[in-house]
């Protein structure tokens, strides 16, 4: 359907060699976009690009560390030079560092904030600058339900994701007049390699299934549709929003 088509669009998805980032990249490619895969290790990106191309989709790779501002600026410039445009940024890279707040050092706190919040600011700044030239663009931040609820040992992650959603609204206000939208997606609990230890914890798994009205974890591909919606013409009037994809977990006590 043309309303959800990304044909002719260049889409950068950071942290897209695995997990939710890979699922989003696959969805964007299937919707017709040229997906630029990102991660720090070129060796993990090459097979992913080959898989997309084998399926008949358009893809390329741009390895860089999202926490390195100079590398981000150089990467965005390279993408624009190669493709002539950057239409969609999906800022997905991040990690839920776990440590009790009473044991966490300032350096550990700063590292989480740098990776999960500041990196998205730098990405949005560089991508937004490129998009301003065409007066059009989509910036999509991958937040978390942990921006609004919390669990022990992830204080820095919760703070970073809360800041990310506040920044989403600020970017929407600032870039909206230039035709650039900024929105966030807040995933709940999804089955990925990163959450495998929690999935295999019988007590925790039972808690998630019991707390979630749909009675299960999400599958990574179930997040792709939300990203496609926000990136496509279907979401052209959605700006400054947080789209929660959690099976209803945060809607109930």
The CATH number for 37's domain is 3.40.50.720
Task: Answer yes or no: is 147 within a domain.
Answer: yes
Is 105 inside a domain boundary? yes
- From the candidates 157, 190, 217, 229, which is the catalytic residue? 157
Tell me the CA distances in angstroms from 102 to 68, 105, 148, 221, 251, one per residue in order.
Answer: 28, 8, 21, 37, 31
Let me know if residue 107 belongs to a domain: yes
Active site residue 157: yes
Q: What is the mean pLDDT of the chain?
A: 96
pLDDT-derived band at 230 (thresholds 50, 70, 90) equals: very high
Model pLDDT for residues 138-162, shown as the tens digit of each residue: 999 999 999 999 999 999 999 999 9
HEC string of the chain equals CHHHCCCCCEEEECCCCCHHHHHHHHHHHHCCCEEEECCCCHHHHHHHHHHHHHCCCCEEECCCCCCCHHHHHHHHHHHHHHHCCCCEEEECCCCCCCCCCCCCCHHHHHHHHHHHHHHHHHHHHHHHHHHHCCCCEEEEEECCHHHCCCCCCCHHHHHHHHHHHHHHHHHHHHHHHHCEEEEEEEECCECCCCCHHHHCCHHHHHHHHHHCCCCCCECCHHHHHHHHHHHCHHHCCCCCCEEEECCCHHHCC
Q: Is residue 96 part of a domain?
A: yes
Whole-number percent of the chain with pLDDT over 90: 96
- pLDDT tier at 1 (50, 70, 90 boundaries)? low
Question: What distance in Å separates the CA atoms of residue 142 and residue 234, rounded to the nearest whole number?
Answer: 19
- How many folded domains does the chain comprise? 1
The pLDDT value recorded for residue 135 is 96
Does residue 230 lie in a domain region?
yes
* 201 within a domain of the structure (yes/no): no
pLDDT digits (tens, 9 = 90+) for 173-222: 999 999 999 999 999 999 999 899 999 999 999 999 999 999 999 999 99
Q: What pLDDT digit, counting tens, does each position of 93-111 carry?
A: 788 889 999 999 999 999 9
Q: Containing domain of residue 110, as a range?
A: 2-190+218-245
Considering the domain boundaries, does residue 91 fall inside one? Answer: yes
Identify the pLDDT of residue 204.
95
Calculate mean pLDDT across residues 2-11.
Answer: 96
> Does 195 reside within a domain?
no
Read off the pLDDT of each residue in 67-96 and give the average, rounded to a whole number.
95
- CA 159 vs CA 6, 95, 164, 167: distances in Å: 33, 13, 9, 12
Judged against a pLDDT cut of 80, whether residue 113 lies above it is answered with yes
């Amino acid at each position: 359907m043309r309303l959800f088509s990304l044909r002719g669009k260049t889409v950068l998805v950071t942290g897209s060699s695995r997990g939710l980032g890979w699922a989003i990249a696959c969805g964007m490619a299937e919707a017709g976009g040229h997906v630029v895969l990102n991660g720090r290790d070129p060796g993990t990106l090459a097979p992913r690009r080959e898989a997309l191309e084998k399926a008949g989709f358009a893809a390329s790779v741009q390895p860089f560390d999202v926490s390195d501002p100079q590398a981000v600026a150089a990467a965005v410039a390279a993408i624009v030079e190669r493709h002539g445009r950057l239409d969609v940024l999906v800022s997905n890279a991040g990690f839920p560092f776990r440590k009790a707040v009473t044991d966490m050092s300032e350096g550990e706190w700063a590292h989480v904030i740098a990776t999960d919040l500041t990196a998205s600011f730098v990405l949005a700044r560089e991508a937004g600058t490129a998009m301003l030239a065409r007066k059009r663009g989509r910036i999509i931040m991958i937040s978390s339900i942990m921006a609004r609820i919390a669990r022990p040992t992830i204080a820095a992650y919760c703070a970073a994701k809360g800041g990310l959603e506040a920044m989403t609204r600020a970017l929407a206000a600032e870039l909206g007049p230039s035709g650039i939208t900024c929105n966030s997606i807040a995933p709940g609990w999804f089955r990925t390699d990163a959450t495998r230890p929690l999935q295999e914890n019988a007590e925790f798994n039972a808690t998630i299934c019991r707390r979630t009205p749909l009675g299960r974890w999400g599958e990574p591909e179930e997040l792709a549709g939300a990203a496609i919606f926000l990136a496509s013409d279907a979401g052209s009037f959605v700006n400054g929003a947080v789209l929660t994809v959690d099976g209803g977990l945060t809607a109930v006590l």
